[in-house]
């Protein structure tokens, strides 16, 4: 399909979104990511029973922590889609990047100089082509 | 085990906002099982504090370590060489660990990172419930293995009270009546006749009423 999605999305592959921990999400922000979104299988279609449901709870918890420490919980989102939904994957990437641009850079970077960090994406989906 | 709950991060930030060198120390025992103060929770709190300080533009060091236990000398000794490097230590152990660390390291401020709640069980993941109040004189042998001190909201020794309705407590409607549980259990054991025995007044001096308690075992002392 040769679909395009923003180049500033860095994909981190995990075997299942159930592997994604709050700590992974926080570390991304600590290292300067502007936003993180988790792309898991559709609810009820997890290959490991309920990994995507666990991920969603962890995303909610991460949002609370980020709100508390003044980074903003909206910088973390979770999406559920199947590996055959490439156009939706590309659209979500674009929407997420737009939303993060609206929120502005990660406040952590204010106190740092140096390279910009991209929006991070943790995904169980295959390569989108 | 001792069950604890996480302290709100804002409460910890309020204590730490003016500190520069912070050491977060977890405990591998009870608080790890109840997911309040183990290695993972130490990592999350440390990361959250680092992000907070970076956002505020404050210079700070947040380091982390998890000890096997914080209620024993030998494990707390493991951090003796590094304690002077920090101007605040957050202990994610129960109140026992926090206090024991403070006793051993009197010149370093120790802050609690969890709220210690009770002695209880893991009913299922994410749900811990109270089972023991450490009254010092166990009467479980006579109550079918169900403790009226911890399971009855009024700690009655001869229950249930008049507020027990359809097996539930009047203090909190969703709470099972401790004495109803005892009666059901004694019935199942065929020991309901024991329910007729009136308990004498309990000697509460073995509980907190006698002040801080101690267990002295000369036979195992060195």
The number of residues making up chain A comes to 129
- Whether residue B48 contacts residue A62, with contact meaning beta carbons closer than 8 Å, is answered with no
Residue A114, pLDDT > 50, answer: no
Sort out which chain A residues have CB atoms less than 8 A from B52's CB and list them: 69-70
Nearest chain A residue to B57, by CA: A111
Complex ipTM tops 0.85: yes
Residue written as token pair 């230590």: B89
The more confident residue out of B208 and A33 is A33
Tokens encoding B41: 């929770």
Coil, strand, or helix at residue A92? Answer: helix
Q: Nearest CA to CA, how far is B59 from chain A (Å)?
A: 9
Using CB atoms and an 8 Å cut-off, which of residues 37-96 of chain A contact chain B?
A: 65-66, 68-71
Using CB atoms and an 8 Å cut-off, which of residues 25-44 of chain A contact chain B?
A: 26-27, 29-30
Tokens encoding B220: 């195992």
Cis peptide before B160 (omega within 30 of 0): yes
pTM: 0.91
What does the angle CA B67 – CA B89 – CA B55 come to, to the nearest 5 degrees? Answer: 115
Residue B50 has its nearest CB partner, among A21, A30, A110, at: A30
In chain B, the DSSP E strands lie at: 2-6, 21-27, 61-67, 88-91, 110-112, 114-124, 127-132
B22-73 pLDDT, tens digit per residue, is: 999 999 999 999 999 999 999 999 999 999 999 999 999 999 999 999 999 9
Sort out which chain A residues have CB atoms less than 8 A from B48's CB and list them: 26, 65, 68-69
Residue written as token pair 């085990």: B1
Sort strands B88-91 and B110-112 into parallel, antiparallel or unpaired: parallel
Q: Nearest CA to CA, how far is A27 from chain B (Å)?
A: 7
Tokens encoding B194: 């024991």
Tokens encoding B13: 């930030």
CA–CA gap between residue A68 and residue B51 (Å, rounded):
11
Q: What pLDDT is recorded for position A119?
A: 67
Distance set, CA B2 to CA B17, B35, B219 (Å): 29, 12, 27
Q: Nearest CA to CA, how far is B53 from chain A (Å)?
A: 8
Put simply, whether A13 touches B (Cβ < 8 Å) is no
């Amino acid at each position: 399909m040769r679909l395009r999605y923003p180049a500033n999305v860095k994909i981190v592959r995990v075997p299942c979104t159930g592997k994604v921990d709050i700590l992974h999400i926080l570390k991304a922000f600590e290292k300067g990511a502007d936003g993180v979104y988790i792309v898991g299988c559709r609810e009820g279609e997890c290959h490991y029973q309920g990994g995507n449901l666990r991920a969603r709870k962890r995303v909610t918890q991460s949002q609370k922590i980020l709100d508390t420490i003044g980074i903003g919980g909206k910088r973390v989102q979770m999406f559920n889609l199947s590996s055959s939904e490439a156009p939706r994957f590309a659209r979500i990437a674009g929407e997420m990047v737009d939303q993060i641009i609206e929120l502005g850079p990660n406040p952590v970077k204010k106190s740092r100089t140096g390279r910009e960090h991209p929006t991070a994406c943790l995904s169980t989906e295959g390569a989108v082509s | 085990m001792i069950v604890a709950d996480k302290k709100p991060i804002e409460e910890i930030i309020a204590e730490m906002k003016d500190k520069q060198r912070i050491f977060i120390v977890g405990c591998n025992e009870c608080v790890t099982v109840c997911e309040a103060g183990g290695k993972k929770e130490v990592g999350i709190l440390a990361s959250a504090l680092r992000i907070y300080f970076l956002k505020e533009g404050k210079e700070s060091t947040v380091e982390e370590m998890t000890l096997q236990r914080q209620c024993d000398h030998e494990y707390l000794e493991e951090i003796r060489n590094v304690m002077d490097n920090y101007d605040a230590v957050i202990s994610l152990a129960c109140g026992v660990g926090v206090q024991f660390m403070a006793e051993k390291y009197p010149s370093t401020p120790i802050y609690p990172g969890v709220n210690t709640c009770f002695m209880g069980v893991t009913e299922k993941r994410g749900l811990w419930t109270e089972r023991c109040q450490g009254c010092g004189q166990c009467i479980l042998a006579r109550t079918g293995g169900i403790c009226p001190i911890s399971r009855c909201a009024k700690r009655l020794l001869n229950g249930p009270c008049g507020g027990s309705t359809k097996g539930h407590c009047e203090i909190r409607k969703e709470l099972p009546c401790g004495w109803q549980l005892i009666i059901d259990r004694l019935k199942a054991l065929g020991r309901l006749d024991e329910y007729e025995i009136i308990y004498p007044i309990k000697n509460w001096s073995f509980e907190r009423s006698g002040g801080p308690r101690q267990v002295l075992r000369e036979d195992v002392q060195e």
